[in-house]
Structure 1
Amino acid sequence: MSNGPHHLHTVAIQSGAAGRDIILPDIAAARERPREPVAIADMAEFFGVTHRTLHFYEEKDLIRASRIGLMRVYSERDVSRMTLINACREVGMPISVIQDLFETLSTASSKTEANLIFEEAMLARQRELAANLSTLHRQLQQINTLLTPEEDGGGTSAHVNRHRPELDDIEHRCLQLMAEGYSPIRIARTLELRSDEIEMIERQVAEKLGAQNRFQAVAKAVLLGIVAN
């Protein structure tokens, strides 16, 4: 696990979905987490998610909110669980796999064992992404082959040259990070911008590329040679 300068979210014991005690791994964080009790608005802002997302995680029994009067709040333990959930979601791990991870963590008898379980889960996800990337590259190469301009008898291209849109520096940097698989939240942190600013930039990039979403924008950018495949 990382021993860098970042503060580590260290969790001792947390009650699991089935009432079992769970030792959670150490997860590096870029900033100090909020103190409990944490209001739902603060929880959502800290992790860059919506209230709806937090409710969804509650439905999946990954976190549990309590109430102080009419206010919905979370404990320090919930913040720690959410730190793990968010780390997994940022690398595209499905909810079902995250639930399995929590189930496996319930068998850990020490912090070291919990860290090893988390590391194995990340390595498994890394292998999945590498396999998906290989498939994506093959598909992009096939598209390139299908779209390669053919010349007629007079040597004139049978297709019009594809238009390369003009992107400013921040749009190009954002697009490059999108191509590297960064989530909008991670891009915002990397470029030191707000999440809503990144969402606007991604929409602008997609519009300039004539794409319907961020994934189509990346695919078109690769085809046009704007970013490396």
Structure 2
Amino acid sequence: MQPITSVSSQPNKAFLLPDLVQTRTPPKEPVAIAEMAEFFGVTHRTLHFYEEKGLLTARRMGLMRVYGCDEIARMALINVCREVGMSVSLIQDLFETLSTATSTSEANLILEEALLGRRRELASNLSTVHRQLQQLNALLDHEEVEAGQLNTEQKGPTLTETEARCLQLMVEGYTPIRIARTLELKTEEVSTVEASIVGKLQAQNRFQAVAKAVLLGLVAN
């Protein structure tokens, strides 16, 4: 059997781990880094990172980096904390506080307080997100209303069949007299139709009405 030595120059502080964290049946120690990574679904780099942050301590058995049962339990707790979104610095603070626990029940209370703090933080974030969503919805609803109004305006007024035919001829440059001949109307009737078109398009005169009609796509230019 190869002798086991610590890889870290500063071994982790020993502390009582809360038993609230349920761990699957761990592999038999010593656990190689590859097996440790696979068991917890993390990468080798992640384990090295936790070692750099003082959360884990690997040991050396010959050329292998290995972990004992205490490190497996620590990693289980780290995983739980990370899954609920706790930062590494908060986990470091948690481990520091756990080092003062004198019993498992006290360790459980420390972990519960940390988790409650995280829940309060998430609830606050959720409230902020909800408020921001309401603001976004209000803005988008307002834009949709404006877009709907714009589309309604852009569709232009509803014209009668005679008005539509008259407007098309106006766009083509027909004079009122020529329009009257083409549509078999009296000149006075054409003047009335044109006045109605100008009014519906909110134009000042027949030339402006023609320009608006083209812009709105009411006629082919």
> Which bracket does the TM-score occupy, shorter chain normalised?
0.5 to 0.7
**Residue matched to 2:124:** 131
**Residue matched to 1:152:** 149
Q: How many residues align?
A: 141
Q: TM-score, normalised by structure 2?
A: 0.59
**Residue matched to 1:29:** 22
Deviation digits for residues 45-81 of structure 1 (CA, Å, limit 9, x no counterpart): 1111111110000000110001222111111110001
CA shift for structure 1 position 107 = 0.8
Q: Relative contact order, CA 8 A, sep 6+: which one is greater?
A: 2
Sequence identity (%): 63
Q: TM-score, normalised by structure 1?
A: 0.57
CA shift for structure 1 position 85 = 0.7
Q: Report runs of 4+ in structure 1 exceeding 6 Å deviation.
A: none
Q: Structure 2 CA distance, aligned partners of 1:32 and 1:127?
A: 32
As a proportion of its length, which structure holds more helix?
Answer: 2
Unaligned runs of 5+ in 1: 1-16, 158-229
CA shift for structure 1 position 41 = 1.1
Q: Structure 2 CA distance, aligned partners of 1:74 and 1:57?
A: 13
Unaligned runs of 5+ in 2: 1-9, 155-221
CA shift for structure 1 position 28 = 3.5
Q: Structure 2 CA distance, aligned partners of 1:19 and 1:153?
A: 67
Task: Give the 5 Å matches for 1:1-229.
Answer: 20-29=13-22, 31-148=24-141, 149-150=144-145, 151-152=148-149, 155=152
In 2 relative to 1, CA 27–39 (structure 1 residues): closer, same or farther, beyond 3 Å? farther
Q: Structure 2 CA distance, aligned partners of 1:77 and 1:58?
A: 14
SS of residue matched to 1:109: coil
Deviation digits for residues 130-185 of structure 1 (CA, Å, limit 9, x no counterpart): 0001101111121222222121255489xxxxxxxxxxxxxxxxxxxxxxxxxxxx
SS of residue matched to 2:149: coil
In 2 relative to 1, CA 109–138 (structure 1 residues): closer, same or farther, beyond 3 Å? same
Q: Which has the larger radius of gyration?
A: 2
SS of residue matched to 1:21: coil
**Residue matched to 2:174:** none
**Residue matched to 1:171:** none
Q: Structure 2 CA distance, aligned partners of 1:156 and 1:108?
A: 72
Q: Structure 2 CA distance, aligned partners of 1:27 and 1:33?
A: 16
SS of residue matched to 1:152: helix
CA shift for structure 1 position 31 = 2.6
Q: Structure 2 CA distance, aligned partners of 1:147 and 1:72?
A: 56
